[in-house]
Structure 1
Amino acid sequence: MRSNILPLALIASLGLGTAVLAASTDTSGVIKSIDAKTMTVVLEDGTTYHLPAGYDVKPFKVGEKVVVSWEMKGTLKEATALKAS
């Protein structure tokens, strides 16, 4: 039984690390541009966030302060939510 503790602890820690990487991140900023065709929002710091297809961007305007909830999907920052703040 004791010989199984270290491998089990290692496996558990690897699983937790993956869960942390998949967690969403919130970023605040001011909208620099919105493109409904490509479903992207660019904040004033130059960061581009890709919105899900069909996301309604009409309520948002350039210059508005927002909070973007996002996750890394490969090399893209995929937004899961966009909220005015």
Structure 2
Amino acid sequence: MRVMIAVLLATASFLSPLSVLAGSSDVEATIKSVNVENLSLVLDDGKTYSLPEEFNFDGLQSGVKVIVFYTEIDGKRVVDDLEVVQ
């Protein structure tokens, strides 16, 4: 029984760093610029975030404060969700 528990704990500790890579992050910042043609936006943190094709740009403009939920894929920040801060 102890061997079984040890194997399970070792497996869990080995796989735990992989879950961090798949996780989503978020940032609260102000929009610096919006590019509808390239499906991207730049925040005041200086980083560019890619948006999906079906993204609704209504109300997004420079100076709007937002919370961006994103996943980093191949070095690009891809937006999963965006919330305007009132």
Fold shared by both chains (TM-score > 0.5): yes
Specify the SS of the correspondent of 2:9.
helix
Kindly tell me the number of residue pairs found equivalent between the two proteins: 85
Q: Deviations over 1:10-56 (max 9, x none)?
A: 21123232222222111011101111111111001211111111201
The 3-state SS of whatever aligns with 2:61 is coil
Structure 2 unaligned segments of length 5 or more: list them. none
The secondary structure found in structure 1 opposite 2:46 is coil
Partner of residue 47, structure 1: 47
Mapping for residues 24-63 of structure 1, pairs under 5 Å? 24-63=24-63
Task: Compute the TM-score of the two structures, normalised by the length of structure 2.
Answer: 0.85
How far apart, in 2, do the equivalents of 1:83 and 1:59 lie? 11
The alignment-based identity, stated in percent, is: 32
